Copies of this chain bind each other. A is one copy, B any other.
Amino acid sequence: MSLKGKALIAQSGGPTHVINNSFVGAALEARKYANVTKVYGALNGVEGIVNEDFLDLSSATINNLNEVADTPSSGLLSTRVKPDAAFCEKVVKVLKAHDIRFVFYIGGNDSSDTIRIVKEFADKEGYEMQAVHIPKTIDNDLVINDHTPGFGSAARFVASAFAGVNLDNRALPGVYIGVVMGRHAGFLTGASVLGKKYPDDGPHLVYVPERDFDSEKFVKDVKDVYAEHGRCIVAVSEGIQDADGTPIVAKLQETVEKDAHGNVQLSGTGALGDLLADLVKDNTAIDRVRTDTFGYLQRSFIGAASDVDQKEAREVAERAVQFALNDNKSGSVVIKRIADYGVNYELVNLSDVAAKTKHMADEYINAAGNNVTKAFVEYAKPLIGSDFPTIARVQAPMVEKIINK
């Protein structure tokens, strides 16, 4: 017989465009079950659980929840806390006190590890509950999953940004370097190519953390592209490392410390982009070198969501509730690709996903390690959704010259 009690939903880690589709999908689905006595939302992830900061989602209107679903970023707010065993013990104590029997935790691989520890602790205490991890991360780095909710929309943003920058750079040529989020996995940086249409469209070079970054080779690559096209657009992951595994941005730290400035972090600073721009300026004769670090817009920009991503984020959460309520199961819901293009949702053990990182497959990166392959484009293109804007160049004959002929 199925458990009876309250359901709890929480969100964790970096927000995404569609994480509220998951939250609302879980809430509305959970409200349908007779053995779910109430649906709560914890504020600020696990922090909100131990503090009992709960919203009673059973008393939210459907219209309000649907508007929240289409609002980017974590509507229940988030946390970066990574709980230890003592923390998880407190979590279980609160779950017991409120008779919470179903926990749905939306997050990345750290979050799935958190919920794994909580569930194990509850089992040890003999507290009956189901705990389901709902995947989300713009980094797309959860194992077993074909892809993760949040990635498609961030990828659409990155593809839209580079498609626009390519047009701008064509009108006023030079070298342009765009720094993309992704500490360990290059999927999002790879998405920079998804808006390309004409053969000479940028980005012309793509550097991901899965390949060692060599400054000299980088400068040579830029020179080669510039010689061919009179311009060069580069997409680069914030997490690129050299052959020793040292993040390239960390090489700045020396200089920065000399300047008595603060810590260097990967996101929220233009340091890496400026470093790479300096490399090009110092080692080539190219005048116009510009760099942008796309930063937080990648995961939050209003109006950039992929409809495919939104739909899947909602579905994966509905399925999470169904696994817990219909099948009395705990685990992590994973997305499997079943057609061209379609998906299915399966439940795997929490420990299968927890604290593991997926990287780009070798077949997605070219031999020179400076671009993605056609296989990657085929993999990623369906995820950015429908109605990607059309770009067009003028198709008209050149006029014969009179004076300069």
Give A residues with C-beta under 8 Å from B. 11, 14-15, 40-41, 51-57, 59-61, 64-65, 67-68, 70-80, 93-94, 97-98, 160-161, 163-165, 167-168, 170-172, 176, 195, 255, 258-259, 261-263, 265, 267-271, 273-274, 277-278, 281-282, 289-297, 299-304, 388-399, 401-404
Contacts and interface: CB of A to CB of B under 8 A. Distances in A.
A299 B172 CA distance: 13
A262 to B, nearest CB: 4
B274 A55 contact: no
Contacts of A281: 261-263
In the assembly, how many copies of this chain are there?
2
A94 B404 CA distance: 9
Contact of A398 (B54, B171, B273, B297): B54
A255 B161 CA distance: 31
A270 B274 contact: yes
A73 B295 contact: no
A168 B73 contact: yes
B15 A171 contact: yes
Given A262-B278, A302-B195, A402-B52, A394 B65 contact: yes
Candidate in A171, A297, A299, A402 with the most chain B CB atoms within 10 angstroms: A171
A336 to B, nearest CB: 29
Nearest to A295: B292
B273 A270 contact: yes
A158 to B, nearest CB: 10
A74 B171 contact: yes
A196 to B, nearest CB: 12
Nearest to A94: B403
Highest count of chain B CB atoms <10 Å: which of A40, A388, A403: A403
B397 A56 contact: yes
B274 A167 contact: no
Contacts of A302: 160-161, 163-164, 195, 388-389, 391
A349 to B, nearest CB: 29
Contact of A73 (B98, B164, B278, B389): B164
